């Protein structure tokens, strides 16, 4: 849970209709239906909001079982940062499952259905499309074939850009909560990251930096051995590097410790 003077509680309710109206006001029109098999599951949700310059942050937290159908508004995109539970999103037959530690980038005009089961929570950063234009001559272009994208820090595509984007987004959320003086700098940095991350892969050409190569080699080894207990010492020994070097590499390139990487790779990966 995020605490701080920058957040305003908009709704605390056990009424699904109250929640639907508030969500529609904040994010655009939504259709909600409660799951037939879980009508006995109590519904309770809280919504809070905060602002960071032109960005709006909306925190959703609670429990229940329902489906949330919506079309993302054409004038805004959303960066969803889950912090508890998993909201399963379905887009044109594809299922996306962003876990805590990941993100979900929802482009404008995208139709999707979220399946919510049990307790869940996270923060939506609402981004007007006017902020995503690279320059005044060219507005933000939306590829008609491009739907939402799970931002996974372990992805081999755009991994450096994804990690940087998630790092800045988390820092912004924390700064809004504490009311720190760096809020404007972080807001500008996040907007800059959002303008470029989806277009450029910093590792697409040339040799990988050593720290990035350490992370990828470690992740490959962890996935191959995830069926048994793994320690940071095991991974470092397999890569022939020191534990300190491995720690520094994961902090620099994944914004997490090797222990967190082992836990998340096991959680996010299918059984061997």
Using one digit for the tens of pLDDT, what is the confidence trace for 220-241? 999 999 989 999 999 999 999 9
Confidence of residue 246 (pLDDT cuts 50, 70, 90): very high
**pLDDT single digits (tens) 107-164:** 888 888 888 888 899 999 999 988 887 655 555 555 545 556 888 888 876 677 888 8
Burial 192-213 (b: 16+ CB within 10 A, else e): ebbbebbeeebbeeeeeeebbe
**∠ at Cα 207 (205, 213), nearest 5°?**
115
CB atoms within 10 A of CB 176: 24
pLDDT digits (tens, 9 = 90+) for 202-217: 565 567 789 989 999 9
């Amino acid at each position: 849970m995020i605490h701080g003077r920058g957040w305003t509680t908009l709704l605390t309710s056990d009424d699904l209709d109250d929640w639907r109206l508030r969500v529609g006001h904040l994010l655009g029109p939504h259709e909600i239906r409660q799951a037939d098999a879980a009508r006995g599951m109590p519904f309770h949700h809280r919504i809070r909001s905060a602002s960071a310059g032109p960005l709006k942050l909306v925190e959703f937290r609670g429990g229940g079982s329902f489906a949330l159908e919506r079309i993302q508004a054409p004038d805004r995109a959303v960066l969803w940062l889950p912090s508890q539970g998993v909201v399963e999103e379905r887009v044109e037959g594809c299922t996306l499952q962003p876990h805590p530690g990941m993100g979900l980038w929802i482009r404008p005009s995208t139709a999707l259905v979220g399946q919510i089961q049990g307790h869940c929570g996270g923060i939506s950063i609402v981004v007007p499309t006017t902020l995503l234009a690279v320059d005044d001559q060219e507005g933000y272009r939306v590829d008609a074939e491009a739907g939402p994208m799970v931002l996974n820090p372990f992805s081999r595509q755009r991994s450096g850009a994804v990690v940087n984007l998630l790092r800045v987004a988390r820092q912004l959320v924390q700064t809004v909560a504490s009311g720190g003086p760096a809020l404007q700098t972080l807001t500008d940095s996040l907007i800059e990251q959002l303008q470029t991350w989806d277009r450029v892969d910093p590792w697409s050409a040339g040799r990988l930096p050593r720290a990035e190569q350490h992370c990828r080699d470690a992740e490959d080894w962890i996935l191959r051995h995830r069926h048994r207990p793994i320690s940071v010492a095991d991974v470092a020994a397999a890569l022939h590097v020191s534990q300190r070097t491995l720690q520094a590499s994961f902090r620099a390139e994944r914004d997490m410790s090797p222990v967190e990487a082992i836990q998340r790779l096991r959680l996010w990966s299918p059984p061997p």
